């Protein structure tokens, strides 16, 4: 959410930013919110004037009563009553205008970084850099579910009966590998100085609207019927929400956190849920990284965060690349974002396994996350990034570590979590 003062003083810059995001239908909201803000400030100014006048007149009544001038005092009391009604009306107007302004400000997109490429959708995202040499083996790489089934490691049919499409049972070595990757990701981030958390898996609506846009919420979040609670789509939601309405001493920044959680997503949209696979699903688990920092430090933290994911995948010899998200592919709260994509030997292309985002002070403004600085208070900057999200990551892992005989190699960092195994064998 932008500062209303910024919108008021830079309306054309805000409109141009909306054009860059190809959301022209929102341009008229800029003039509308500026007009509402003018009315609000006028109402508040008049209200402040009346409150000051009421205090002054109240003192005058006391003085008149002390002098025995009751008739004059009664006339003055009537003035106070008249002011009280006008003030009450103004306070109602202030509240209504404040609500309308916030409603509009929540849908005006954040100002994107000048380095963000301009494009309509994810088809216009731009490759930045590749890490590791993508390879295609001289044997056929099966579909990821077929690989898992060769280890008797997945049961989609039973999950379809209990829960429908988009769910799965993992078992045996595949389930153990899934847990091993998460355990390794946890320790990988702890070793990089991040504090480990297991957060609440449900959050209230005020946190949901604080961490994401309405469009994202509608397409992602599951609502708990009859309660003001939503299932989280990522632990970032809980972790940023942890700081709601807080003042963080500047000396305590940055806050560097890594969190584990299950994630629940409707996955509404063009992509849809896979009939047979674990790439796009309703339920998965994830290790996340979150940073709350000073505004001047957020660009440097952004680069450190995506590099952590690259380093994590490369430690398991999985080739990856980074992809800069274009303006039209950025969610409204984001200033800048990049995807980390892993190489798929079967598809002979890269696919998304993580996303790193700098949200500037957008979430902090919505949630009231402020920093107590030496020269006054200010809004913090927030960032988040995926460390790893199996079972999607398992696709890249299995394909890149598959042998011609159907066995799968276990990289050195994972072996301590797999009982010392150097490979898993087909059943």
> Is it the case that residue 43 has pLDDT exceeding 90?
yes
And the tokens for 369?
């996350």
Q: Is 242 helix (H, G, I), strand (E, B) or coil?
A: coil
**Dist CA 134 CA 350 (whole Å):** 9
Rg (CA), the chain: 28
Residue 136: pLDDT band by 50, 70, 90 thresholds?
Answer: very high
pLDDT of residue 83: 75
As annotated, the residues of the chain forming the CATH 3.30.930.10 domain(s) are: 122-424
Between helix 11-20 and helix 27-66 the angle, nearest 10°, is 140
Q: pLDDT tens for residues 318-357?
A: 999 999 999 999 999 999 999 999 999 999 999 999 999 9
Q: Over the chain, what is the mean pLDDT?
A: 93
pLDDT confidence tier of residue 85, bands split at 50, 70 and 90 = confident
- Displacement of CA 63 from its chain's centroid (Å): 59
Q: What is the pTM of this model?
A: 0.90
Contacts (Cβ under 8 Å, ≥6 apart) of 373 = 250
CATH code for residues 4-105: 1.10.287.40
pLDDT at residue 399, rounded to an integer: 97
Please say whether the structural domain 122-424 has been given the CATH code 3.40.50.720: no
Taking the alpha carbons at both ends of the chain, their separation in whole angstroms is 53
Helix, strand, coil percentages for the chain (3-state, nearest 5): 45, 20, 35
Report pLDDT for 87: 86
pLDDT at 76: 63
Average pLDDT over every residue of 62-72? 68
66 pLDDT above the threshold of 90: no
**pLDDT (mean) for 162-189:** 96
Using the predicted structure, report yes or no on whether residue 235 has a pLDDT greater than 60. yes
Residues of the chain within CATH 1.10.287.40 domain(s) are 4-105
- Provide the pLDDT confidence category of residue 215 given band limits of 50, 70 and 90: confident
* pLDDT (0 to 100) of residue 381: 98
Instruction: Provide the percentage of residues in the chain whose pLDDT is more than 70.
Output: 93
DSSP state of 146: H
pLDDT of 67 over the 80 cut: no
- Mean pLDDT to the nearest integer, 43-52: 87
């Amino acid at each position: 959410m932008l500062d209303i003062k910024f919108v008021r003083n830079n309306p054309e810059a805000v409109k141009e930013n909306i054009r860059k995001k190809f959301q022209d239908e929102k341009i008229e909201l800029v003039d509308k919110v500026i007009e509402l803000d003018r009315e609000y400030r006028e109402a508040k100014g008049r209200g402040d004037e009346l409150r000051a006048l009421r205090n002054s007149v109240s003192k005058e009544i006391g003085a008149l009563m002390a002098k025995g001038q009751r008739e004059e005092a009664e006339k003055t009391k009537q003035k106070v009553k008249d002011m009280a009604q006008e003030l009450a009306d103004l306070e109602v107007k202030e509240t209504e205008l404040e609500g309308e302004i916030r409603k509009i400000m929540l849908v005006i997109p954040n100002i994107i970084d000048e380095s963000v490429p301009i494009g309509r959708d994810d088809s216009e995202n731009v490759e930045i850099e590749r890490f590791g040499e993508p390879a295609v083996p001289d044997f056929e790489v099966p579909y990821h579910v077929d690989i898992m089934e060769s280890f008797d490691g997945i049961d989609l049919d039973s999950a379809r009966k209990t829960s429908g499409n988009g769910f799965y049972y993992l078992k045996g070595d595949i389930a153990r590998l899934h847990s091993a990757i998460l355990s390794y990701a946890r320790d990988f981030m702890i070793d990089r100085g991040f504090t480990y958390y297991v957060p609440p898996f449900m959050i209230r609506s005020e946190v949901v609207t604080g961490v994401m846009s309405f469009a994202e919420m509608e397409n992602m979040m599951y609502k708990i019927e009859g309660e003001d609670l939503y299932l989280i789509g990522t632990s970032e939601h809980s972790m940023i929400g942890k700081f709601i309405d807080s003042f963080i001493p500047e000396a305590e920044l940055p806050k560097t956190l890594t969190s584990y959680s299950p994630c629940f997503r409707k996955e509404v949209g063009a992509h849809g849920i896979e009939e047979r696979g674990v790439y796009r699903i309703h339920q998965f688990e994830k290790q996340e990284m979150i940073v709350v920092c000073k505004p001047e430090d957020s660009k440097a933290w952004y680069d450190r965060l995506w590099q952590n994911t690259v380093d994590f995948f490369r430690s398991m010899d999985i080739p990856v690349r980074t992809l800069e998200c274009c303006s039209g592919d950025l969610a409204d709260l984001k200033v800048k974002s990049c995807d980390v994509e892993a190489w798929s030997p079967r598809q002979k292309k890269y696919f998304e396994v993580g996303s790193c985002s700098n949200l500037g002070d957008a979430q902090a403004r919505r949630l009231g996350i402020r920093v107590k600085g030496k020269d006054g208070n200010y809004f913090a900057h927030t960032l988040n990034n995926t460390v790893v999200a199996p079972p999607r990551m398992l696709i890249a892992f299995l394909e890149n570590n598959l042998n011609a005989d159907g066995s799968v190699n276990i990289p050195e960092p994972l072996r301590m979590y797999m009982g010392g195994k150097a490979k898993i064998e087909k059943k």
